[in-house]
């Protein structure tokens, strides 16, 4: 028999638990590989999410615009969901992160080409509006193939084409975690001097195309180059994109250096088949591919269903939007 507990996960306090921003894509590319599942969850009005640190704990989130303030997407390919995206955008406040980098199949094996990705972003922009789209150029890393000059030329090409269709550009430098050194032995260490030079050049390119540019989860300050320090999911960004106003809330983020408003993720680690060699969310590409094959779009979670030993917790959801501006659809 499934165990149903109270409202709150023991790992978070009440204030954290109540801020209702759903993030669909920081653990896996839900849009590219699990769109049917995602749309079905929104159609049925709820989703379950397994705690990655304590897998016996499962939280149920209600996908109801009365208690869900915004749905944030992050993907490297929105093509699979474009035809049905209005099933979500017509009911919910939304914001879209679209990652397009300088890398080819040697680094991102299952990601569409730069030109194909640009075309898809333009389609997305025409559906949801440029104010709801952030182009992510991250992570920036260096190899003998992907030099600083390659980044400057590629970024300039993308910025020229994308700037009319986006709200802003967000970039970050790769984190040199232990697994990355194994997955990408050819990677070249980024010194502070390298980072400063790169920031200066892409900042100048962004200014040339009148494009807002900011860092994400980085301690460095490049404001002298016109680069803002900000979270990539703040109440101001989400509010301005959807013409809504949030109550004053803390932006303590989800990890060190993060300046975002707290959000809840409904994806699973080790489920993204993109195969990006710099990925932090997969142990290795083989496990992700195996898990993807196990996926059933009718399941309540991306990977699997509830187990008899699960401890189910109902999320205590509460809107943090100002009264009378909660949803343009009401």
pLDDT at 15: 37
Phi, psi (5° rounding) for residue 240? -65, -35
User: What are the boundaries of each domain within the chain?
Assistant: 3-314
pLDDT, tens digit, 9 for 90 and up, residues 126-139: 999 999 999 999 99
Question: Which residues on neighbouring strands pair with residue 171, listed in sequence order?
Answer: 137, 215
Tokens 């040697």, located at residue: 106
Across the range 272-301, mean pLDDT stands at: 94
The pLDDT-based confidence of 252 (bands split at 50, 70, 90) is low
Is the model's pLDDT at 324 over the cut of 90? no
Contacts of 139 (CB under 8 A, 6+ apart): 101, 172, 173, 174, 175, 278
pLDDT at 1: 46
Residue pair 59/11 in contact by the 8 Å Cβ criterion: no
Q: Give the span between the Cα atoms of 172 and 197, in whole angstroms.
A: 14
CA angle 102, 23, 239 (to 5 degrees): 95
Within 10 Å of residue 304's Cβ, how many Cβ atoms?
Answer: 15
Residue pair 111/276 in contact by the 8 Å Cβ criterion: yes
**What pTM value is reported for the model?**
0.91
The pLDDT-based confidence of 261 (bands split at 50, 70, 90) is confident
**C-alpha dihedral sign at 16, 20, 25, 27:** positive
């Amino acid at each position: 028999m499934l165990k149903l507990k109270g409202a709150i996960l023991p790992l978070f306090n009440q204030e954290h638990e109540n801020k209702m921003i759903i993030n669909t894509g920081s653990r896996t590319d839900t849009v590219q590989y699990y769109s049917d599942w995602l749309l079905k969850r929104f159609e049925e009005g709820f989703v379950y999410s397994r705690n990655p640190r304590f897998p016996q704990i499962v939280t149920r989130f209600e996908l109801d615009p009365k208690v869900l303030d915004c749905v944030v997407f992050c993907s490297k390919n929105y093509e699979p969901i474009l035809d049905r995206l209005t099933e979500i955008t017509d009911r919910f406040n939304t914001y879209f992160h679209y990652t397009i980098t300088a890398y080819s199949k040697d680094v991102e094996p299952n990601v569409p080409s730069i030109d194909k990705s640009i075309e898809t972003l333009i389609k997305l922009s025409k559906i949801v509006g440029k104010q709801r789209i952030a182009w992510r150029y991250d992570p920036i890393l260096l190899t003998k193939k992907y030099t600083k000059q390659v980044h400057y030329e590629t970024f300039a090409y993308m910025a020229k084409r994308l700037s009319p269709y986006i709200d802003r550009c967000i970039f970050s430098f790769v984190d040199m975690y232990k697994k990355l050194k194994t997955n990408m032995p050819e990677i070249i260490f980024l010194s502070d001097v390298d980072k400063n030079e790169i920031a200066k050049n892409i900042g100048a390119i962004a200014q040339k195309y009148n494009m807002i540019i900011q860092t994400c989860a980085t301690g460095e300050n490049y404001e002298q180059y016109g680069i803002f320090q900000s979270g990539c999911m703040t109440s101001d960004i989400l509010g301005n994109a959807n013409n809504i106003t949030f109550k004053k809330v803390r932006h303590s983020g989800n990890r060190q250096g993060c300046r975002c408003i707290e959000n809840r993720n409904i994806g699973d680690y080790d489920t993204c088949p993109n195969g990006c060699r710099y990925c932090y969310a997969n142990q290795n590409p083989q496990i992700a591919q195996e898990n993807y094959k196990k996926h059933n779009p009718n399941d309540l979670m991306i990977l699997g269903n509830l187990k008899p030993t699960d401890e189910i917790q109902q999320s205590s959801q509460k809107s943090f939007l100002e009264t009378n501006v909660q949803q343009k659809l009401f």
